[in-house]
Amino acid sequence: MSTESPSEYTALETRSTADLLAGMNQLDHTVPDTVAKALPQIERLVEAVVARMEAGGRLFYIGAGTSGRLGVVDASECPPTFGVPASLVVGIMAGGDTAIRQAVEGAEDDAEQAWLDLQAYDINAKDVLVGIAASGRTPYVIGGLNKARAAGLATGCVVCNAGSAVAAAAEFPVEVVTGPEFITGSTRLKAGTAQKLVLNMLTTATFIRLGRVKGNKMVDMQLSNEKLVHRGEKMLMDELGIAEAEAAALLKQHGSVRAALHARS
């Protein structure tokens, strides 16, 4: 069954708040098991991204609506979490940055625009392009993947229907078949949750493989606020067995947890 199949829940407007929440929660519980079935596909995509990044490549996401916004979110969280340049993982939405907050009518129907949007980043054959589309039929994403694959890029996708045109356009497809939504066709629900889980896995596993985590610590995180500075100090206290004042001074001197640890090694 597809994401467009009729909801298993009917007469939603007559239900109590408690019943609505219980129904959504019940369906949400099915998502992790569905993602688990796609782990071999996710693994292949991670390995492709790692290989391209080791060779100097970057990761680009393209998508529309909820799918595009999820790509933008995942890309934007990589620099503060892993200390990587903002240019290493880039999220691009159909309709541009305006579409992050407000829908841009018809933007997802232009099969040529994604590749045009990517030209602003000097995209090349070292890079990886991942299309995100719950339905698996978004022209913006299909067109971008087709052009990228022809240009020698590694291509992947995250879709929530089986046998889609988006998956057919990608070298490393990830198909997480989530089935009918609580509200028929509202893929910001189960499908969006599944896509978020997959994107979490993709970039987290990639940057662990690339050495951006030590043990289980974000040693390259950006110290952009007081909470993260305190977290960094705690990491140094735990790793080096030092007092808080010494950890704070060491972190201030070296500017990152990794650099401070290296200085003491």
Catalytic residue among 8, 43, 77, 171: 77
Beta strands in the chain (DSSP E): 59-63, 89-93, 128-133, 154-159, 172-175
108 as an active site residue: the answer is yes
CA distances from 198 to 6, 44, 194 (A): 25, 13, 6
DSSP code of residue 217 = B
% helix, strand, coil for the chain, step of 5:
55, 10, 35
181 as an active site residue: the answer is no
Which among 69, 124, 116 is positioned nearest to 91, based on CA atoms? Answer: 69
- HSE-CB for 23 with a 13 A CA cutoff: 17
CA 109 – CA 243 distance, rounded (Å): 58
Catalytic residue among 108, 175, 181, 233: 108
- HSE-CB for 224 with a 13 A CA cutoff: 9
Catalytic residues: 77, 108
